[in-house]
Amino acid sequence: MATTPQTKYFDLHIQGIGYVNRIREVNVKRGENFWACDISALHGAVDDVQYTRFDCRVSGAEAGKLIKRMHKACREEKKILIGFKLGDLYTETFTYESGAKQGETGVSLKARLLFIHWIKVDGVSVYTAPPKADVADDVQSETQPLADPSPTGSNDRAQAAVH
């Protein structure tokens, strides 16, 4: 029996906190419909907060359930603040069709919403993710540097980082 080689990937994740806006179900002609939202991520000094907007396709199963539950609160223009993890960041250009920037090229940051750590609606905590069972493994892999990150290196931790 022949075994097919398993494809390996390097992950790039973005973690932060941000406000959720424009929760919507996207209807497509081919394939399955999906949920999407915008996240205005906070960064910078607390007394001078900056925002970066991500247009997200909701990909995580649990994240999908949670975003659907927040749809009504979003329509009611409540402030939805989440702790999030995004993946697969890419850019997409577009042309402004109206307003002061009409005709100019803009850039949109796109990503997949993979995980929601917690949710607050109008300052009230409504969800906290259960703790992961393998927290000790995550802490160990994050705190110990990789000696040889090359795919051909002999470091087992480097090989484990690629999945």
**Would you kindly state where each structural domain of the chain is located, as residue ranges?**
13-130, 133-163
Residue from 82, 90, 92 nearest 111 by CA = 90
What's the CATH number of domain 13-130, 2.40.50, 2.40.160, 2.115.10, 2.20.28?
2.40.50
pLDDT of residue 134: 54
- Contact between 34 and 28 under an 8 Å Cβ cutoff? The reply is yes
Classify burial at 88, counting beta carbons within 10 Å of its beta carbon; exposed 0-12, middle 13-18, buried 19 or more: middle
Q: How many helices (H) and strands (E) in the chain?
A: 3, 6
pTM of the full structure:
0.74
Distance CA 7, CA 162 (A): 10
Per-residue pLDDT of the chain (163 residues; tens, 9 = 90+): 667 788 888 888 999 999 999 999 999 998 889 999 999 999 999 999 999 999 999 998 999 999 999 999 999 999 999 999 999 999 999 999 999 999 999 999 999 999 999 999 999 999 999 988 754 444 443 433 433 333 334 334 333 333 3
pLDDT value of residue 54: 97
